[in-house]
Structure formats: structure tokens, C-alpha cells
Amino acid sequence: MHIKKQRLLTPGPTPLYPPALHAMMASDLHHRTEDFRRVYQAAIADLKEVMGTSYDVVPLVASGSGAMEASVSNLFSRGDKVIVCSAGKFGERWVDITKGHGLSPVVIKKEYGDVVTPAEVEAALKDNPDARGVFVQASETSTGAAHDVESMGKIIAKTNAIFVVDAITGLGTMPLKIEEWGLDVVIGGSQKAFMIPPGLAFLSISPKAWAFEATSDLPHFYFNLKKEAKNAAAGESSWTPATSLILALAEALKYIKSIGMDKLVENAQLLARATRQAAAALGLEPFAATSPGSSVTAIKAPAGMDSGKIVKGFRERFGMIIANGQGSMKGQIFRIAHLGYFDFADLFAVVGSLELILAANGYPVQFGKGVSAVQEVYAEATGIRQPVNA
Amino acid sequence: MHIKKQRLLTPGPTPLYPPALHAMMASDLHHRTEDFRRVYQAAIADLKEVMGTSYDVVPLVASGSGAMEASVSNLFSRGDKVIVCSAGKFGERWVDITKGHGLSPVVIKKEYGDVVTPAEVEAALKDNPDARGVFVQASETSTGAAHDVESMGKIIAKTNAIFVVDAITGLGTMPLKIEEWGLDVVIGGSQKAFMIPPGLAFLSISPKAWAFEATSDLPHFYFNLKKEAKNAAAGESSWTPATSLILALAEALKYIKSIGMDKLVENAQLLARATRQAAAALGLEPFAATSPGSSVTAIKAPAGMDSGKIVKGFRERFGMIIANGQGSMKGQIFRIAHLGYFDFADLFAVVGSLELILAANGYPVQFGKGVSAVQEVYAEATGIRQPVNA
């Protein structure tokens, strides 16, 4: 077709909230002025509000992986034994970071699509009473699976270990009661449910985690959480902040507050449920079926079809950028995102396109069947009674 | 639902082409410099190319109505008899403008939704051999109807009258062979198929029309086509040009050239056909059924339902701005646009939403049925064989 709008529909970068993008145009300001300090402090205060915590929240000019590394390099010490839940590409990243900093990770390894259970974490902590930390992904973006961080947190809270949660795609797509559930470190990134471009990461840090910071012996300079937290309280950043992204974040947070973080989560959950039902209506198998999250839904390509063909179909036929599988899942699955600035109209467009792409690749499809499954979830959620039938 | 993206889906303003919008950020340039002259001349050259004419094309800082007035005030004289085809709100505007400038319009009046036929124009010219002009809308945006300007133009070309065509929503949605069909004045506007914000209008002017300019006695100052055409040839504008919009236009025209004006037209035609078929699948009646255009498709609200409810449903449920009927058609019809930066994914979203809105208002709908009609048009146009069935 002739007009194909580029639509960025991946689980990060996510679709941008236009007023946040427009706010970046006001970047002709200096970061060591009262004007900027006001924006910076407001953004941090709003971050704490939407994260629902009174803990310190520390922003970093980095992508999420930088904040992941900062949690290790600032809170742990050489040789520390830690438990790492690894159920996908980002679990493997925890292994790499902890090993890279000389920690001694006990890895609970699961197949892609599966999850680590709270019981397994409990058992690992029992077997390793000297473990100083537990690392997990709230939402494992590579597979679409979600971990039960509530149950894990409540187990870990009873130990001397701290619980470090990569919630980069978890924030805004699942409830995360930071203080109530014992989530000592929660990591987020700008290009996810926060609806702005990449370049900012942030961490909430509990008092229990700060106590770890006091004894940490790992070298770090740029990622200095203590220094950054102290500066942030005064509206300052340790190093030059990414002013354009802070302006964008401040604007996006106003929007997120206006709809409510719980509603943003519910939005993602409804879209995820609708996507699973659309896949089922089209006879497609979900991936990560035991514990599907709501940041992204991974769907298996039909037998004999490379999922790259589906991703390519979205791009070439409709201008839509949709995620393929990552790592060993490439070619096996495709992933439809829901985190942040996604709405039902997006999903009508995505599923309507998917049906045509599947048909173009020889897969039997009844046009409109997947879309109708999405519509039924919308109708149920909003109380529309379908006065059947035409 | 919680996230509802604002989607501007009206027949003007139309969805904006993002790189054109971004180009407006380069407005910190002066209009009397070589830098700007280059942009201005390139935009005019590209306009002529996509309009397919070697005639002068004159840009104005105005909305389309300004260019409509300029065609009257620059080319006609007090008391001139002219024939006006009036089949909707914009036909009525020709009556107002010609009367307002002291011309003597012979109005061929049709009901909203109907069109003036070439035979009627021919008869009116026979009855009024002293008529100096014929005015028409190529596409009557208020009803979605298209006039047969090809046949009209070939009739008018044999007379002493000039043919003035409001193609504000016609350009980019229907073939318009300006020179071959005898279209003496063709009027366009920026916020239509040109995918940029409102504020620019332009006219192509034939040698036959320029001869009229030489004898026109109507007062005009700001809208001076002769002066503007002369300046445009040198990369200048008579008055301060809207630099941001010229920058946007230049960028949008690059895109339109890259896909081809004929393909842009075909895109609108396919979307219009798909919309008509979706309406039929949902049991809805088209408006302007005898001569439906491709800029916008007007659909009658179901019996007993105010079309305002549908427009409101789009806005409140989905954040989509869709057009109601205009003038006397308000409440009777709603209009789905296709001109410019619209694609099939938009239409999946629009029709998927429409089905839910109709159901919410008690109209019996089988979810997915309208969307599948759109998908069938896409599949047919792109050669997808639907390997039925699930």
C-alpha cells in the first residue's frame, strides 16, 4: 500500500507521548539554574508519586542497563554471594553484571518463557543463608513473562538479603508496591511506560539497601547513588543532566498522574488480555503462557513460519515496528507491546494488520476474528452490551 | 479506557506528516535570504510537479477560502454573469463570494449529497452564453460527493468562460488533469492531502484565466495573483510568507513525490472503497451514493441515532476526532476522511472503534465485520489470497 505510517510499537522504545516530545523543544535552558532545578525536583517528586514510594528515587543519565549496573556496583562488595533469577535475556544480564563485578551469583536458571517461582527463591535463600541479594526481572521483556515479585519480596524481607528488581518494563504494567512488598531496589527506564525517548534510568532505594551502600567496596565513579541522591534532594545532578529528557519526563509524568498509575497498569493489562484472546481466536499459541505479563505479549509464529516474516510484514506492509524474539527466541516468536502510550485503537490496527500478514504467508485466517476478540475485551471492560446480530 | 491517543482524522486538518512537522523547527531563517528563496522555489516547483501542470502556481498565506476569493476578485469584473454549481456547504461559499463581489451568479443548486452533472453545466452555458465563468467543487467536502470535472472542463473549454475548480480536498484524492481537462483555476490548501497544518493556499492559473485577470476591475490588494506569480518566479513573496509552513510543505512534497501523486490518489480511493464496503457490511447507508468521492466518506447515522453520538463516541472513547455533518447535515451523517496521510492501519482502528461505538448506542453489530470488509479491500488490492478458514 502507498501510505504506510511509521508506528513504533515495540516494548521499548515505546510510542512517545506528543506533549512530552514537544516539551523537549524547551531545552534551551541551563541545568544550573533555578528554572531547571524546579523541573528536576518536580520530575523526581512525581516519579516517587507514580512509583508509590517515599524511598529515595535517583535518576541517572543512562539506559536501564546502567541503572542495573549501578545497583550492583554501589550496594555490593567483591565476593558477595547473590541469587540471580534468570528466565530470559535480561536475567542473563544480571548474571553478566554480577559476575563482571566479582560477585558470586547462584543462578536459578529457567528456560525462556518460564519463570522462577517464589518457592525456588525461598529454597535458594535457605541453601545460601549468606546470600546478600536477590536479583530478578519483574517483567522479562524478552519472553513476556512476569515474576511474582510480591511473594518473592515478602520472603526476602525476612532475610538479610536485599531484593533488587529490574522493573524497567514492569513499572506501569503491573502493580508494584515497593514498600509493602519489600522491593529494596526498583529500576525503571524512560523509554518504557514513561512514554519518552531512551536516555534516563532511575532507581528507588530502600533504607535496607542504603545500609548496603555504606559497606560496598566496589569501584564506581559516574554511577554514584549516594552522591546522586544527595544532589537530587537539592534539585541538582552530579553530572550534566539530560535536560531534554527531564523536560519530557516531567510532562509525561503529569499525564500519567492525570490518568493514574493504577489505570496505566490496568490499560496495559487489558491490552495484554485482549492480545492473548486475539491470538487464541486466530489459533496462535502464546509464549510464556504460565505467567504472562502485561508489558509485552509474546506469541509463537505458526508452525513452519519464521516470526521474522511476521515482523517484516508489519514493517513492509504497514510501516509498523514490532519486536521479533530476542536471543535464542529470534525467529520463534513475535512480541506485541502494551506498555505506556498504547491504546485499543493501536491494537485494532495491529491485530487487523496481523491477520493480513498471516494470510499473506499462507496461514488460514478468518478476517476480523482476532480484532473481534480485542473488541470483546474492550466491550466487557467498558460495559458495552453487544446487541447481536447483523 | 484509560489511554486514548488523540488522533486527528478529519478531512482537514488532516493527520500531519511527522518529518514535515519537524521541518517547521527550522523556521529561524529570514524570508528575504537565498536560503529561504531556495526552499520557496523548490516548494513551488514541486507543487507544479505533483499538480501535473506547467501553469503558474501561486501560493498565498491564507486558508482555502482566501484563494477562492482571490480567484473571483482577481479574474472577474463587477456584474459578470457566472455559473455556480452548488451541491453543499462549499458550493454555497462560491455563491456567497461571487455575490459578495458583485458578480451575477446563475446557481445550479442541488440537494446535499447530490451532484451537478456535466449536462446541467452544458445546458446552463447554452442558456447563458454570456457566462464568464463556471465555479465548482471537485470534491464537496461537506457531503463526500465528487463532481465530474473532466467532462465539465471539456465542455467549458469550448466556451469563452473559464473553469474555476475548488480542489481543496480534490487534490491528492482524485485524478485532476489540469491542462488536458481544461481546468483554468485549481485551488488547493495545505491542511488537506498535503499533510501539513492550515495557513497556505495555492492556485494554478491557465493562460485563459490570466487573460481574464488583465480586464478584471474588482478591488483587491493582499490577494494579488499577478504580483504574487511574478514574485514567485524570483523566489519571492509579495508579503511576508509563512516560513514554517513553506518548510513543512517542501518536506511533505518530497514525500508525496517519493510515493507519486497517482499513488496518493489511489491510496485515498482504496481507503474510500474500503470504508464504503465496511459501512455496507455493518448495514449502514452511504451518503452521496450517486457520486462518492475519495477525500471523505459520509455515512448516514442509523435511523433514530444522532450522528453527534457517533462523533462523541469516537472522541470520548477513543480520542479520535472524526467529522460530523456540516450545516444542515449535522446530526445526520458522520464523515471518515481519507485524504493525505491516512493508511489502512488507521482504517482498521477507525472501523474497529466504530463497531464498538455503534454497539454502545444499541445498534446491532457483529464485531469485526466492518474491519473484515476493509481487510478484504486491502487483500484484493495487494493480491493476498485469504486461505480460509479457521
The percent of chain B in helix, strand and coil, each rounded to the nearest 5, is 45, 15, 40
pLDDT in tens, B66-77: 999 999 999 999
Measure in Å the smallest separation between the Cα of B18 and chain A Cα atoms.
9
Predicted pLDDT of residue B96: 98
Q: Looking at the partner chain, which of A356, A369, A386 has a beta carbon nearest the beta carbon of B365?
A: A386
Q: Please report residues of A whose CB lies closer than 8 A to that of B360.
A: 382, 384
Q: Do A345 and B353 make contact, defined as CB atoms within 8 angstroms?
A: yes
Mean pLDDT (whole number) for B206-233: 97
Q: Looking at the partner chain, which of A2, A349, A350 has a beta carbon nearest the beta carbon of B259?
A: A2
Percent of chain A with pLDDT over 70: 99
Question: In angstroms, rounded to a whole number, what is the distance separating the alpha carbons of residues A171 and A53?
Answer: 13
Question: In angstroms, rounded to a whole number, what is the distance separating the alpha carbons of residues B80 and A36?
Answer: 64
Partnered with residue A104 across adjacent β-strands are A81
Mean pLDDT (whole number) for A86-115: 97
In A171-280 the beta strands, taken as DSSP E runs, fall at: 185-189, 200-205
Smallest CA–CA distance from A382 into chain B, residue: B1
Peptide bond just before B389 cis, omega within 30 deg: yes
Q: Do A376 and B386 make contact, defined as CB atoms within 8 angstroms?
A: no
Q: Please report residues of B whose CB lies closer than 8 A to that of A266.
A: 2
Peptide bond just before B241 cis, omega within 30 deg: no
Q: Do B364 and A352 make contact, defined as CB atoms within 8 angstroms?
A: no
Predicted pLDDT of residue B328: 84
Single-letter amino acid code for the residue at B280: A
Q: Looking at the partner chain, which of B318, B366, B385 has a beta carbon nearest the beta carbon of A390?
A: B366
Q: Please report residues of A whose CB lies closer than 8 A to that of B263.
A: 2
Predicted pLDDT of residue B388: 59
Measure in Å the smallest separation between the Cα of B127 and chain A Cα atoms.
45
Smallest CA–CA distance from A270 into chain B, residue: B1
Q: Which of A126, A119, A128 is nearest to A147 (CA)?
A: A119
pLDDT in tens, B257-313: 999 999 999 999 999 999 999 999 999 999 999 999 999 999 999 999 999 999 999
Question: In angstroms, rounded to a whole number, what is the distance separating the alpha carbons of residues A323 and A7?
Answer: 12
Q: What are phi and psi of A133, to 5 degrees?
A: -160, 160
Torsion of CA A227, A232, A236, A240, to 10 degrees: 70
- pTM summary value: 0.94
The answer to whether the CB of A188 falls within 8 A of the CB of A194 is yes
Query: Could you tell me if residue A182 is left (phi over 0), alpha (psi between -120 and 50 degrees) or otherwise beta?
Result: left
ipTM of the complex: 0.92
Single-letter amino acid code for the residue at B34: E
Mean pLDDT (whole number) for A180-187: 98
Predicted pLDDT of residue B327: 83
Question: In angstroms, rounded to a whole number, what is the distance separating the alpha carbons of residues A381 and A329?
Answer: 33
Predicted pLDDT of residue A3: 94
Q: How confident is the model at residue B157 (pLDDT cuts 50, 70, 90)?
A: very high
Q: Please report residues of A whose CB lies closer than 8 A to that of B368.
A: 367-372, 375
Mean pLDDT (whole number) for A257-274: 98
Predicted pLDDT of residue A390: 45
Q: Please report residues of A whose CB lies closer than 8 A to that of B282.
A: 390
Q: Do B379 and A386 make contact, defined as CB atoms within 8 angstroms?
A: no
Q: Which of A262, A259, A247, A139 is nearest to A192 (CA)?
A: A139
User: Which domains occur in chain A, in start order?
Assistant: 7-13+260-382 (3.90.1150.10), 18-259 (3.40.640.10)
Predicted pLDDT of residue B1: 83
Distance of CA B103 to the CA centre of its chain: 25
Q: Please report residues of A whose CB lies closer than 8 A to that of B259.
A: 2-3
Average pLDDT, chain A: 96
Question: In angstroms, rounded to a whole number, what is the distance separating the alpha carbons of residues B162 and B168?
Answer: 18
Q: Please report residues of A whose CB lies closer than 8 A to that of B387.
A: 359, 362-365
pLDDT in tens, A220-263: 999 999 999 999 999 999 999 999 999 999 999 999 999 999 99
Would you tell me how many other CB atoms lie within 10 Å of the CB of residue A234? 10
Percent of chain A with pLDDT over 90: 97
Query: Could you tell me if residue B260 is left (phi over 0), alpha (psi between -120 and 50 degrees) or otherwise beta?
Result: left
Question: Does residue A388 surpass a pLDDT of 80?
Answer: no
pLDDT in tens, A49-67: 999 999 999 999 999 999 9
Q: Looking at the partner chain, which of B2, B260, B382 has a beta carbon nearest the beta carbon of A266?
A: B2
Length of chain A: 390
Mean pLDDT (whole number) for B358-382: 97
Q: Which of A16, A6, A13, A2 is nearest to A255 (CA)?
A: A16
The answer to whether the CB of B377 falls within 8 A of the CB of B275 is no
The count of CB pairs under 8 A between chains A and B is: 193
Instruction: Give SS3 for A348.
Output: helix
Instruction: Give SS3 for B268.
Output: helix
Q: Do A390 and B360 make contact, defined as CB atoms within 8 angstroms?
A: no
Predicted pLDDT of residue A327: 83
Question: Does residue A389 surpass a pLDDT of 70?
Answer: no
Instruction: Give SS3 for B232.
Output: helix
Torsion B253-B259-B263-B268 (CA) sign: negative
Q: Do B368 and A375 make contact, defined as CB atoms within 8 angstroms?
A: yes
Predicted pLDDT of residue B390: 45
Q: Looking at the partner chain, which of A344, A356, A371 has a beta carbon nearest the beta carbon of B379?
A: A356
Predicted pLDDT of residue B61: 96
Q: Please report residues of A whose CB lies closer than 8 A to that of B6.
A: 18
Q: Longest Cα pair distance anywhere in chain A, in angstroms?
A: 71
Q: Which of B156, B155, B137, B157 is nearest to B147 (CA)?
A: B137
Question: In angstroms, rounded to a whole number, what is the distance separating the alpha carbons of residues B14 and B267?
Answer: 15
Question: Does residue A135 surpass a pLDDT of 50?
Answer: yes
Partnered with residue A188 across adjacent β-strands are A202
Q: Looking at the partner chain, which of A5, A341, A389 has a beta carbon nearest the beta carbon of B345?
A: A5
The answer to whether the CB of A188 falls within 8 A of the CB of A167 is yes
Q: Please report residues of A whose CB lies closer than 8 A to that of B21.
A: none
First-to-final CA distance of chain A: 30
Q: Do A5 and B341 make contact, defined as CB atoms within 8 angstroms?
A: yes
Question: Does residue B319 surpass a pLDDT of 90?
Answer: yes
Question: Does residue A387 surpass a pLDDT of 70?
Answer: no
Q: How confident is the model at residue A328 (pLDDT cuts 50, 70, 90)?
A: confident
Q: What are phi and psi of B150, to 5 degrees?
A: -60, -55
Q: Do A362 and B387 make contact, defined as CB atoms within 8 angstroms?
A: yes
Residue B102 has which C-alpha cell? Answer: 458583485
Smallest CA–CA distance from B367 into chain A, residue: A372
Q: Do B369 and A390 make contact, defined as CB atoms within 8 angstroms?
A: yes
Q: Do A365 and B371 make contact, defined as CB atoms within 8 angstroms?
A: no
Mean pLDDT (whole number) for B236-250: 96
Q: Looking at the partner chain, which of A1, A349, A350 has a beta carbon nearest the beta carbon of B378?
A: A1
DSSP codes joined into one string, A121-178: HHHHHHH-TT--EEEEESEETTTTEE--HHHHHHHHTTSS-EEEEE-TTTBTTB---T
pLDDT in tens, B44-60: 999 999 999 999 999 99
